[in-house]
Amino acid sequence: MADIDPQPQLEELPGGLTAPAGWLAGGVYTGIRSYGPEPRFDLGLLLSERPATAAALFTRNAVVGAPVTLTRERVARGAARALVVNSGNSNVATGAAGDADAERMAELAAAALGVAAADVLVASTGVIGRRLPMDRIEAGIGEIELTREGGAQFARAMMTTDTRPKEQALRVEAGGRSYIVGGAAKGAGMIHPDMATMFGFLTTDAPVERGWLQETLREVTDRSFNMIDVDMDTSTSDMVIALANGAAGGEPIAAGHPAAAPLASAIEAVAVRLARELARDGEGARTLIEVVAEGAASDADARIAARTISASPLVKTMITGRDPNWGRVLMAAGRSGAALDLERTEVWIGEFCAFAQGAPTATPEADISAAMDRDEVQIRIDLGCGEASATAWGCDLTEEYVRINADYTT
């Protein structure tokens, strides 16, 4: 496990993917996204002024889209220059024609950007089983204007049912230099680890050694994007990509480098902030739910307990209704597979302990209800078995979620 500095000095910056030096981006509306509320950006380009070290994680779904196959192959080569993204169509289950469309999309982007097609990564999200409207992509891609502020357009271009773009940027002082880490994410915060496409893209101007970047990205993702309900394991299109172009100068950062821990902390902080925003913007959501599982026998137990609770529809609807039915938390933990010592288990809703020493506490139900009536609700469970802990994020489940998903394509 890479060292992650627990107390890095991080400075918040405006912007996202184009906040680090040497990054440009932009977006355009082409009409790929033929459904939805109103015309908005649906095609975006991200460009590094110099080759960037690339690391990525992809969905583990047995069915993957053509862009996943293409981008996985290209990231394996270790470097990239650009990323083209679209929403409205995921180019999944489209057969050999879909593979050709993804290739063509990279070629069109390469031509527009003046780079080699092999250096362009592709990410698509949206409806499954329909061919991409290549004519619209071809017509629109040349109209994209790349700017230093274009990260915001790019973040919008990949939105599906997101109600707002998600961008973050942080500056970190590390090893005597200053680096910036930027990021953007999209995802609909489905009510259950399912097939909602989640994109998490991270850029930095730090120079990095590729193996270190890949390992850091894996660890960071396990504590951020993998701990929200939009589960990258399960969509056909999910990707988390980190691109480091070294524009800030210095020697490549790898394990043991004095900047490694602070930079990793900055990457994690950007990823966690984006993950929380994804959960908060879950389809139809009104409340961000943070679940802390502690006292677990192992990290794996802590993770599965926190995730099971945060993904439980009954826990979600408990929060929706501000219903002091905390037994649902206990039950979700019980079915998670994590070891649990009931006599030592404690369940907390906000600052109130609802269950301890094997029985309900005397906390009035009205207090527990009131603790749920907030924009952010923390649920905490101590499993009474050890020292491990983990944090997961989710959102409440509202009638609006059902409305959104019952009318997705129509």
Exposure of 225 in the CB half-sphere (CA atoms within 13 A): 35
Nearest distance, CB of residue 319 and its own copies, angstroms: 9
197, 89 contact by CB (below 8 A): no
Nearest approach in angstroms of CB 27 to its own copies is 25
Phi, then psi, of 23 in degrees rounded to 5: -120, 135
Across 191-207, b (16+ Cβ under 10 Å) vs e yields bbbebbbbbbbbbbbbb
- Amino acid identity, position 47: L
Residue 18 is among the residues annotated as catalytic for this protein: no
Cβ neighbours of residue 407 under 8 Å, at least 6 residues apart? none
Q: Taking the complex as a whole, how short is the minimal distance between the CB of residue 119 and its own copies, in angstroms? A: 28
Residue 34 as a binder of its own copies (CB under 8 A): the answer is: no
Site membership for its own copies, residue 397 (CB under 8 A): yes
SS3 81: strand
With CB under 8 A as the contact rule, which of the stretches 59-67, 149-157, 166-174, 266-274 interacts with its own copies? 59-67
Q: Give the one residue of 49, 63, 258, 374 binding its own copies; rule: CB under 8 A.
A: 63
Q: Two tokens at 98?
A: 């879909």
Q: Which of 109, 318, 371, 390 binds its own copies (CB under 8 A)?
A: 318
Distance (Å, whole) CA 195 – CA 217: 21
Q: Is residue 235 within the footprint of its own copies (CB under 8 A)?
A: yes
Question: Counting contacts by CB under 8 A, is residue 328 touching its own copies?
Answer: yes
Q: How far is the CB of 287 from its own copies (least distance, A)?
A: 12
List the one residue from 250, 327, 350, 386 that touches its own copies (CB under 8 A). Answer: 327
Nearer to its own copies, 87 or 94 (CB): 94
Q: Is 130 an interacting residue with respect to its own copies (CB under 8 A)?
A: yes
The Cα diameter of the chain in Å comes to 68
- Per-residue x/- track, 330-369, its own copies (CB under 8 A): xxxxxx-xxxx-x-----------xx-xxxx--------x
**Least Å from the CB of residue 313 to its own copies:** 5
Q: Is 410 in the site for its own copies (CB under 8 A)?
A: yes
- φ/ψ (deg, to 5) at 74: -75, -40
Footprint (CB under 8 A) of its own copies, residues 248-307: none
Query: In whole angstroms, how close is the CB of 390 to its own copies at the nearest point?
Result: 17
301 token code pair: 């137990």
Nearest to 158 by CA among 136, 139, 186: 186
Determine if 325 is a binding residue for its own copies (CB under 8 A): yes
Candidates 6-14, 104-112, 286-294, 317-325: pick the segment binding its own copies (CB under 8 A): 317-325
Which residue is listed with tokens 């120079």?
A: 207
Instruction: Quote the least distance from Cβ 204 to its own copies, whole Å.
Output: 31
The site map against its own copies for 87-106 (x = CB under 8 A) is -----xxxxxxx--------
- Based on the shown chain and the rule CB under 8 A, indicate whether residue 234 belongs to the binding site for its own copies: yes
Write down the least CB distance from residue 195 to its own copies, Å.
Answer: 4
Cβ neighbours of 377 (radius 10 Å)? 21
Stretch 183-222: interaction string toward its own copies, x if CB under 8 A: -------xxx-xxx--------------------------
Nearest of 308, 325, 320 to residue 390 by alpha carbon: 308
**Number of shown-chain residues binding its own copies (CB under 8 A):** 69
Catalytic residue among 18, 71, 160, 197: 197
Q: Where are the beta strands (DSSP E) in 344-387?
A: 346-349, 352-356, 359-360, 376-382
How many CA within 13 A on the CB side of residue 72? 15
B/e letters for 100-131, b = 16+ CB within 10 Å, e = fewer, are ebbbbbbebbbebbebebebbbbbbbbbbebe
Q: Does 370 bind its own copies (CB under 8 A)?
A: no
Among 18, 53, 61, 216, binds its own copies (CB under 8 A): 61
What are the angstrom distances between the C-alpha of 204 and each of 34, 168, 170, 270?
33, 12, 10, 11
Binding site for its own copies (CB under 8 A): 60-64, 92-98, 127-130, 190-192, 194-196, 233-236, 312-314, 317-318, 320-321, 323-328, 330-335, 337-340, 342, 354-355, 357-360, 369, 397-399, 401-403, 405-410
Known catalytic residues are 197
